[in-house]
Amino acid sequence: MLRDFFKRVEKGQLYCDYSSVVEKFGEGIESRIGKTSGLLFNLESAYWTFNVRFSKWIEKNRKKYNCCLVCPLDEMLARFDAQLRVSFFPTPGPYDIGPRKRKKLENRMLKKHAPTIREALMKEIWG
C-alpha cells in the first residue's frame, strides 16, 4: 500500500475529488503549505484525499455495523493511515516523536517504498 501511495504522490493522483478536502477541513492544502505544485503538495493532496475517503468509509461502518473497523481490510487501512500520519503529518497529542526522529522515519520509509522520489521529497519537506 505504501508503494502505491508514493506512486500516487509521484504522479499527482488522488484518492477522491480534491473538493472533499476543502469541504471537510474548510481550507485547501495550498493555504497551509504555501504551494500549489511539487512533491510536497502531491504528498499532502494524496494523504488528505485518502483521509477523507477513509473517514467516509469508517462512518459508513459505524452507521451500518455500529463499529468502525469491521474487517481485516479496515484494520489494514487504519494502520496504513497511522504510519503515514506519524511519519509525515504529526498531530498534537501525547505521542510526539520530535523532528529529528520524524526525519529519520520519513527517510527510511521513502528509501524503502519510494526511492525514486526520496531525495527530492525530503528536500521539499526539510529544505
Number of domains in the chain: 1
Residues of the chain where predicted confidence (pLDDT) is lower than 50:
none
Given this model, what pLDDT does residue 120 score? 98
Q: Whole-angstrom Cα distance, residue 121 to residue 71?
A: 33
Confidence (pTM) = 0.91
Q: Which domain, by its residues, includes 64?
A: 2-126
Alpha carbon of 69 to those of 27, 49, 64, 74, 125: distances in Å? 28, 19, 11, 5, 32
Q: Are 86 and 45 in contact (CB under 8 A)?
A: no
User: What pLDDT, on the 0 to 100 scale, is given for residue 111?
Assistant: 98
